[in-house]
């Protein structure tokens, strides 16, 4: 089984958060996403080694991508609960298999390599324009007034 097949759900969750932000901020560029994922990789790598991260958090769009992706990563680590609703509107908990910080880092690195490839092929937003075609448009409809990335991401994980 390939890495992409084994971690397809995690990769999709992370990329959904990225695309959700991109659709609301079309000025976002691949380099800003890459900077965000680099910071998160270093942070989770330090944690996996029992250390604290001393890396300076990015600013601007990169910082906001960090917030959105971190919520998803922490959920996949089993640290966050993302309530969702079933088809009847009843609240349910999404059951997931928790991942380790090392697995999250590997997923972030895989996405970073995809960013490099698609930026070369498609320019400043090559990765973003490539990946958004695989994330349903309706997955990103959230109320713009929601400032909390966790609240905004709840729209991505509705059970259907």
Q: What is the pLDDT along the chain (160 residues), one digit of tens a residue?
A: 999 999 999 999 999 999 999 999 999 999 999 999 999 999 999 988 888 877 888 999 999 999 999 999 999 999 877 767 777 778 877 778 899 999 999 999 999 999 999 999 999 999 999 999 999 876 544 444 444 554 555 555 443 3
What distance in Å separates the CA atoms of residue 99 and residue 118, rounded to the nearest whole number?
A: 27
Phi then psi dihedrals of residue 7, to 5 deg = -115, 25
Token pair of 87, please? 């088809």
Q: Tell me how far apart the terminal alpha carbons of the chain are, to the nearest angstrom.
A: 27
- 26-137-98-49 Cα dihedral, nearest 10 degrees: -10
């Amino acid at each position: 089984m390939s890495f992409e097949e084994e971690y397809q759900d995690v990769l999709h969750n992370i990329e959904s958060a990225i695309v959700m932000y991109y659709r609301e901020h079309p000025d976002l560029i691949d380099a800003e996403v890459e900077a965000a994922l680099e910071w998160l990789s270093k942070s989770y790598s330090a944690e996996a080694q029992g250390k604290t991260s001393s890396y300076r958090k990015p600013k601007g769009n990169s910082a906001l991508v960090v917030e959105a992706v971190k919520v998803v990563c922490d959920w996949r680590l089993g640290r966050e609960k993302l309530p969702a609703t079933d088809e009847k509107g009843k609240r349910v908990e999404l059951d997931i298999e928790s991942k380790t910080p090392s697995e999250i880092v590997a997923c972030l690195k895989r996405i970073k390599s995809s960013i490099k490839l698609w930026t070369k092929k498609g320019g400043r937003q090559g990765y973003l324009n490539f990946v958004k075609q695989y994330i349903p448009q309706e997955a990103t409809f959230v109320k713009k007034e929601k400032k909390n990335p966790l609240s905004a991401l709840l729209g991505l994980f509705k059970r259907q």
